[in-house]
Every structure is written in C-alpha cells, then in structure tokens.
C-alpha cells in the first residue's frame, strides 16, 4: 500500500512527537505540557447534531481574552491545524514556499512537506534572533514566514523591532505568522496590537500550554477578517467537536482565566527555581526562557538525557549541541529533576 501513497508522502518521516517517542517514567517533562490536571463538566447531549463550524461562544470568549474582535478569530484543532490551514490556503504546491528560522518548532516543515510546498530555511543568528538580511534575500516565492516567540526549543523572545521590520519587508508579498503558543506566560510580548496596522500578520495561539488543555486540541488563529475568511474556505466543515468547545468555553470563563493566571504564576516560580539550581552546577548553562520550559546546555547533553531517561525522568533532547529542553512541571517534578541532575554532577566530580 505504501507504493500507492503520493511520492511526497512516501518520503515523509512522521513528526516524532513526545507521545510517539515512548519511554517510561513518572516525571514527564518532554512535551511542554502543564502539570495541572484541571477538572471540567462535560454535558453529553445535543450530540446527534453537527457542531457549529466556528462555535460562537468559543470565538467570542477567545476574542475577549485576546483583545480582538470575533471576526479576527478562527478556531481549529490545536495551533497545529492553524499551521496546516495557512499553508493549504496560501501556498500553491510546487510553486510557493514557506520560510522559517531553525532551530524552531518542527511542524512548519512537516506540514509544508506533506502538502508539497517548498521550504526555505534561514537559521536564527547565534543570539537566536531573526537574520533579517538573509530573510530579505530569500523571499522569492515565499508566501508565509513563520516566527516562533517565545521560540521552541530555545525559549527566547524574538525582538519586537525585528518583527516590525519583517512585517514591513513582507508587506503586500507574504504573511508573517507569529507562533505565540507560549505567549500566555509573557503576555506583554504579544504582537496582537500589531494586527490593526499589518494586514499581513497572522498569530497562532493554543489552549495546550498555559491553559493545561493539550489533550483537548483547541487552538486559534488571529488575523484580520479578510485573512480569516480565506482560512474558513479550507477548514473542515465541523472541525470543533461540541465537548471540545464546551470545555474551552469553561477554560475561558472568568474563573477559568483566574485559575490559568494562578497556574502561570506557579509555573513561572518553579521555572526560576529550576533555572537557579541548574545554573549553579559546574559547566551548565541555562538559557533565559519565557515559556514553560528551559533550554539547558550540559557538558554532555546526550549522556544527561539518557541518564535521566533511565531514571524515569523524561526530558526532550534538542538539535542544539549538548542542549536538553526541560518542561517546567509541578513542584515535586521540579524538585526530583533538580535533585537527579545535581546528583549526576556530584558523582561525576
Ligand atoms: C505546542 C506547540 C504548538 C502546537 O499547539 P497545539 O495547539 O497543541 O497544536 C504550536 N507551536 C509551538 C511552538 C508549540 O510549542
């Protein structure tokens, strides 16, 4: 059957998500999930009817949270579907290209490859910022430029002045897609206020991280109404199951937002603790992180990753030499992780 698949698909290696990698342990810090398991009421009625394509209550709730109008919001199955919709709607396979700046999130590349759209890679600078000159030289055929801030896996923010320069550079040529999956941990860094000025800006958001709903599959694209209407042409007719929208609306209610804010504060405090403890170890560098994870450079990153894996502490190895990405868990998980890693250094030394 493999031979019947499209050539592009035959050549694909599926995204190795944290869930597919496997492993066994009791400390899971490899998928940037929230440690908080919040409870929701699910009402299993009305399920004989199809869901609304864009549930009004959900769109209104997220628009209000994000500070935009409902016509500027599209909801989809996670931010990942937003990435795919943008590529399908704006890039002609075999003609157009997307551009992104590694090291960064893997799904821009995978989605483009699946759809048969060319990928242009312009690496981030050594400071993990945009290389604007190089981007300018590589814009031929580019319809979408993906920028992730806070960037996954490096954790840093992309400079706002550079994002503005990029929006100016691509005006009337390409759409800048800001991936703000982690922006709820640093809302002051959002580019949402630039939407009114730049019609070529689209912003990806999700309930998977700060809202502790990775398993719900609920994300958003924010953009001007015209762009949203293009995406509505390619989205599935019933993308949001009724229970998903019901739970998401609860998460975005006043009490849901208050709980999320508390949990963000808690995670930020744990992140500081983790950062300080690891930075104190000899030869360890902790990069400043603005999301719910830290990128940490060890003298031997692979060895540290494997030792933790064997001890049931599942971290994420990264494409950056000797760097390991560590999600910020709850207090117990953080303590266990700090204790384990510290112990590695005392036994080696
Ligand atoms: C987790 C993540 C996403 C995907 O979010 P979902 O809503 O779960 O699909 C998108 N972008 C980045 C950078 C992420 O880390």
Q: Are 252 and 61 in contact (CB under 8 A)?
A: yes
Distance in Å, CA 77 to ligand 1 centroid: 11
Give dist(CA 221, CA 213) in Å, integer: 17
How confident is the model over 275-291, as a mean pLDDT?
Answer: 97
Q: Which of 63, 68, 52, 113 is nearest to 87 (CA)?
A: 113
pTM value? 0.96
Work out the mean pLDDT of the chain and round it to a whole number: 95
Q: Residue 66, SS3?
A: helix
Q: What per-residue confidence (pLDDT) applies to 9?
A: 86
Q: What per-residue confidence (pLDDT) applies to 45?
A: 83
Q: Are strands 142-148 and 313-314 parallel, antiparallel or unpaired?
A: unpaired
Q: Which tokens in the block code for residue 26?
A: 């009791």
How confident is the model over 90-112, as a mean pLDDT?
Answer: 97
Which atom from ligand 1 is nearest to the alpha carbon of 218? Answer: 7
Domains in the chain, CATH or no CATH each: 7-34+256-348 (3.90.1150.10), 56-254 (3.40.640.10)
* pLDDT per position as a tens digit, 51-67: 999 999 999 999 999 99
Backbone angles phi, psi at 313, to 5 degrees: -110, 105
Q: What per-residue confidence (pLDDT) applies to 25?
A: 79
Q: Ligand 1 pocket: which of 16, 151, 152 to mutate (most atoms <8 Å of CB)?
A: 152
Give dist(CA 98, CA 146) in Å, integer: 8
Residue list, ligand 1 pocket, CB within 6 Å: 32, 78-80, 105, 148, 152, 179, 181, 206, 208, 214, 219
Q: Are strands 142-148 and 73-76 parallel, antiparallel or unpaired?
A: unpaired
Which atom from ligand 1 is nearest to the alpha carbon of 104? Answer: 13
Q: Are 205 and 220 in contact (CB under 8 A)?
A: yes
What are the Cα distances from residue 219, in Å, to 175, 280, 319? 19, 37, 26
* pLDDT per position as a tens digit, 114-164: 999 999 999 999 999 999 999 999 999 999 999 999 999 999 999 999 999
- Whether 347 shows a pLDDT value over 90: the answer reads no
* pLDDT per position as a tens digit, 309-343: 999 999 999 999 999 999 999 999 999 999 999 99
Q: Ligand 1 pocket: which of 16, 104, 105, 217 to mutate (most atoms <8 Å of CB)?
A: 105
Which atom from ligand 1 is nearest to the alpha carbon of 206? Answer: 7
Distance in Å, CA 236 to ligand 1 centroid: 20
Distance in Å, CA 256 to ligand 1 centroid: 20
Give residues with Cβ within 8 angstroms of 275, minimum separation 6.
Answer: 286, 289, 294
Q: Ligand 1 pocket: which of 76, 181, 211 to mutate (most atoms <8 Å of CB)?
A: 181
Q: Whose CA is closest to atom 12 on ligand 1?
A: 181
Reported as a pLDDT band with limits 50, 70 and 90, residue 19 is low
Q: Are strands 219-223 and 73-76 parallel, antiparallel or unpaired?
A: antiparallel
Distance in Å, CA 206 to ligand 1 centroid: 7
Q: Which tokens in the block code for residue 65?
A: 């949270």
Per-residue b or e along 259-294, where b marks 16 or more CB atoms closer than 10 Å to that residue's CB: bbeebbebbbebbeebbebbeebeebebbebbbbbb
Q: Which tokens in the block code for residue 342?
A: 């510290």
How many of the other CB atoms lie within 10 Å of CB of 204? 26
* End-to-end CA, the chain: 54
């Amino acid at each position: 059957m493999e031979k019947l698949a499209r050539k592009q698909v035959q050549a694909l290696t599926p995204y190795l998500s944290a869930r597919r990698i496997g492993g066994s342990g009791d400390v899971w810090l490899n998928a940037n999930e929230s440690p908080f398991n919040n409870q929701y009421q699910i009402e299993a009625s009305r399920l004989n009817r199809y869901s609304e394509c864009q549930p009004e209550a959900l769109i209104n709730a997220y628009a209000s949270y994000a500070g935009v109008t409902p016509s500027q919001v599209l909801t989809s199955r996670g931010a990942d579907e937003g990435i795919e919709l943008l590529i399908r709607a704006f890039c002609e396979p075999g003609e157009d290209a997307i551009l992104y700046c590694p090291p960064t999130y893997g799904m821009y590349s995978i989605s483009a490859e699946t759809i048969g759209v060319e990928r242009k890679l312009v690496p981030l600078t050594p400071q993990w910022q945009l290389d604007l000159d190089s981007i300018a030289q590589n814009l031929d055929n580019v319809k979408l430029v993906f920028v992730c801030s806070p960037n996954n896996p490096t954790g840093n923010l992309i400079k706002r002045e550079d994002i503005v320069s990029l929006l100016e550079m691509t005006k009337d040529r390409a759409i800048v897609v800001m991936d703000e999956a982690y922006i709820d941990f640093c809302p002051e860094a959002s580019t949402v206020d630039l939407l009114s000025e730049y019609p070529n800006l689209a912003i990806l958001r999700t309930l998977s991280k700060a809202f502790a709903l990775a398993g719900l599959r609920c994300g958003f694209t924010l953009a001007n109404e015209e762009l949203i209407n293009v995406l509505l042409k390619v989205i599935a007719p019933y993308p949001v199951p009724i229970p998903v929208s019901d739970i998401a609306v609860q998460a975005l209610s006043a009490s849901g937002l208050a709980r999320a804010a508390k949990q963000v504060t808690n995670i930020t405090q744990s992140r500081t603790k983790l950062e300080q403890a690891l930075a104190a170890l000899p030869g360890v560098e902790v990069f400043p992180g603005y999301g719910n994870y830290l990128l940490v450079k060890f003298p031997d990153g692979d060895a540290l990753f494997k030792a933790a894996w064997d001890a049931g502490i599942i971290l994420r190895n990264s494409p950056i030499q000797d760097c390991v990405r560590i999600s910020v868990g709850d207090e117990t998980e953080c303590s266990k992780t700090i204790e384990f890693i510290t112990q590695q250094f005392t036994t080696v030394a």
